[in-house]
Amino acid sequence: MGAIAVLLVLGGLIFFHELGHFLMARSLGIGVKAFALGFGPRLFSFTWGMTEYRLCAVPLGGYVMLAGESPDRDEDPAIPTGLLFSARPVWQRMAVVAAGPVANFLLAWGLYWALFASQGQMGLAPVIEQVLPDSPAAQAGIAPGDTVLSVDGRSIIFWEELTEKVQHSQGRTLVLELKRGAERLSVGVTPQMSLRQNIFGETVSAPMMGIVAAKEIVSVELDGAQSLKLAGKETWHAIVNMVTALVKMIERVIPADSIGGPILIAQLISREAQSGMVGLLALSAALSANLGFVNLLPIPVLDGGHLVFFSLEAVTRKPLSLRARAMAIRVGIAMLAALMLLATYNDLRRLLQ
């Protein structure tokens, strides 16, 4: 089950990425010589128009071969010049390249939407399990077992909403409506700046009340529009988290030995497949958003690198020389190979430990 899930998830994410390139190219009238499901030896194929559709032996993703994709290679003279990718305006080539990452973002959005529409929104309930001694909450008379119903007159459902209100309090006193048994009471709490560790292990100063959440889960049903909006928000959060993680890596807050590769991803997918479909779909959505972001990085070979090439062409009104492009691609391949070796080494080291 785990192995099948790994093939389906990784293969599906990469295939959907290539499908984005394919659909954009066809919508712009750019010739596509081949569109393949999988890699390796061809198991089955047929030709429709000028495109050969292939089913290959290794079900891990797919690929698209555009007519005139490489300007340094000779194309079949039977292919009209108007169908060549290299002969199209810069904006059309950029649209085809960007369509792959955009397809991954849309897939993540769709998966999150399906989850929220079918399962509702789940999260920690705003129930207090522990009140720290001498904390603002203790001084205000808040007790373990209290449920926070509203903050400053606004109802809350999830613990995350309470956390956001505290983080944005800026030293202001918050009015909390609490439920204690059958009783309802209102208290004023002024969060104090305290040191804590964030998810990256950094010690930061943040407003805190001194309370700990109980491990109670609450679920809220959502309609289609609410699910769609929340799915977009969740997709954006996944992208922002990737950007933040990349910045922390550059700042060396996240150590290099924590970087994971294909083995770690396969382990995560396999674990979620054993736990249930909901977790597997949520992980697939996050991986799809991450794949789209990674492909937009300005590294030659990746889609982001090609977008940089085309942007320079748009500014200078002439394409980057073939020699400069070849050198940049070699550098990009070396960078990706080094990153892959590091990630694989970390994965193997974790396995051995």
> Distance (Å, rounded) from C-alpha 203 to C-alpha 200?
9
**Closest Cα to residue 288, out of 97, 35, 8, 17?**
17
The question of whether 272 is a catalytic residue gets the answer no
Catalytic residue among 18, 69, 75, 177: 18
Catalytic residue IDs: 18
